[in-house]
Amino acid sequence: MKTMSIRPYQEHYPDIHTSVMVDDQATIIGDVSIGAHSSIWPQAVIRGDVHKITIGERTSIQDGCVLHVTHAGPYTGEGKALIVGDAVTVGHNAVLHACTIGNQVLIGMGSTVLDGAIIEDNVMLGANSLVPPGKTLVSGYLYAGSPAQQRRPLKDNEYALLDYMANNYVDLKNTYMETTP
């Protein structure tokens, strides 16, 4: 039974590359763009209703993730988009809200990244971490905690792991696309 929900909001329609796998139980609404070979897993909600959401190539938005934006208003200025780069793995039940995520990043399961936060390229964020509004996590480090703190530099094998995870999820989504009617 197909229950996938990809739908417009007002004049904004999701723009999803044909190589993207969107699970039947995911929801994508409004001004959302998703790049080639990305995957959107069950129960993920990507709601671009009051601002734009951009997801790059080879990015995995895993089960139960919530991605949203900030509207324009008297207390929020022009609002804030959500930008997620290439080769990003967003772990189960993570929340990304009006932030910017660079390329080759791991967002650990259950983590929350809030408005205006920036996670630069090549960062690992541990499970259940909180990145407060406006905080920047600089490239090349492991961060963890609530609030997230810099723990140590990434090791060579962890840089390789970031690319491996992205490629692994591309391979996995391909098997789903080949076997799912």
pLDDT at 144 over 60: yes
Per-residue confidence at 99, pLDDT binned at 50, 70, 90? very high
Q: Are strands 21-22 and 45-55 parallel, antiparallel or unpaired?
A: unpaired
pLDDT for res 150 = 98
Q: How many CB atoms lie within 10 A of CB 129?
A: 23
Residues 82, 103: Cα–Cα separation, whole Å: 14
pLDDT at 4 over 70: no
pLDDT in tens, 24-51: 999 999 999 999 999 999 999 999 999 9
CATH code of residue 152? 2.160.10.10
Q: Are strands 15-16 and 89-90 parallel, antiparallel or unpaired?
A: unpaired
pLDDT for res 1 = 40
Residue 125's domain comprises: 5-179
What average pLDDT does this structure show over 76-87?
96
pLDDT at 130 over 60: yes
The total number of structural domains in the chain stands at: 1
Give backbone dihedrals phi and psi of 76, rounded to 5 degrees, phi first: -120, 5
Share of the chain above pLDDT 70, in %: 97
Per-residue confidence at 181, pLDDT binned at 50, 70, 90? low
Per-residue confidence at 10, pLDDT binned at 50, 70, 90? very high
pLDDT at 160 over 60: yes
pTM of the model: 0.95
Residues 88, 111: Cα–Cα separation, whole Å: 14
**Across all residues in the chain, what is the average pLDDT?**
96
